[in-house]
Amino acid sequence: MNEEERGTYLDFLRGRRAEILERLAAACVRSGRRADDVLLLGVSKTVGIDEVALAWEAGYRAFGENRPQELKRKLSACATSPKLADVRFDMIGNLQTNKVNMVIGNVSLIHSVSSTHLAEAISKRSVARGIRSRVLLEVNVSGEESKSGFTPDGATTALDALLSLPGIDVRGLMTMAPRDDPDAARRTFSGLRELRDALRGSHGLPLDVLSCGMSDDFESAVEEGSTLVRLGRTVFDPSYAMG
């Protein structure tokens, strides 16, 4: 990007951010919560480091990536920029056990722990590095075959074993809603919250983080209890029209 393009893109990011924050705040009011109860994660998987730096300038502080390789690339670029040195990145996408080492220690939160096998791999490698990784359990609430994650019953059954793993700290739950079906999306979000409430009751854990809501459905996610929305297109893509 040249200087002029940067300026135009920064203006877009700022304007869009103001609109997103306004909608988030309104959804928080509707669900009886405070606006700062919800973290806005900018999903930067489709943009480069220039765009991330401009988003930081526009006020974003936390980003999400879905590929370990790209995460690493962005983190090394950020490390050379004093301004971006303490930027937060989360891992939000499918993680294979052989890529765990690229991710642990580099992210604030891993949203996509979709199996006991993966949780064990993260725990083992975290212990080897002397760290404890904060994770969310990805739950396939909607039951779509295309989606990964624990079934709600599977998460309930697996939780005891997951809690005994020394290298992970289970902070909450994450889900992906069906696309293009607002009612099904809302049921998915309320289902995630109900599962969280049930697990709180049975295991006495806070499970404070509910990661759900993307560009098309973040307002209903917040109304249903989301504490962390993952927004890609609406943050970064000028051609994305907010509904």
Pairing relationship of beta strands 88-91 and 62-65 according to DSSP bridges:
parallel
- The verdict on 93 binding ligand PLP (CB under 6 A) reads yes
Name which position in 44, 66, 123, 226 contacts ligand PLP (CB under 6 A): 66
Cβ of residue 104: shortest distance to ligand PLP, in angstroms?
18
- The verdict on 135 binding ligand PLP (CB under 6 A) reads no
Closest to 117 in 3D by CA, of 92, 100, 142, 133: 100
- The verdict on 43 binding ligand PLP (CB under 6 A) reads yes
Closest to 221 in 3D by CA, of 171, 185, 172, 183: 185
Q: Tokens 């697996």, residue?
A: 158
CB 92 within 8 A of CB 44: no
- The verdict on 20 binding ligand PLP (CB under 6 A) reads no
**Residue number, 93 or 225, with CB nearest to ligand PLP:** 93
- The verdict on 226 binding ligand PLP (CB under 6 A) reads no
Environment class of 202 (CB within 10 Å of its CB; exposed 0-12, middle 13-18, buried 19+): exposed
Name which position in 27, 118, 214, 221 contacts ligand PLP (CB under 6 A): 214
- Provide the binding-site residues for ligand PLP, judged by CB under 6 A: 43, 45, 66, 92-93, 214-216, 230-234
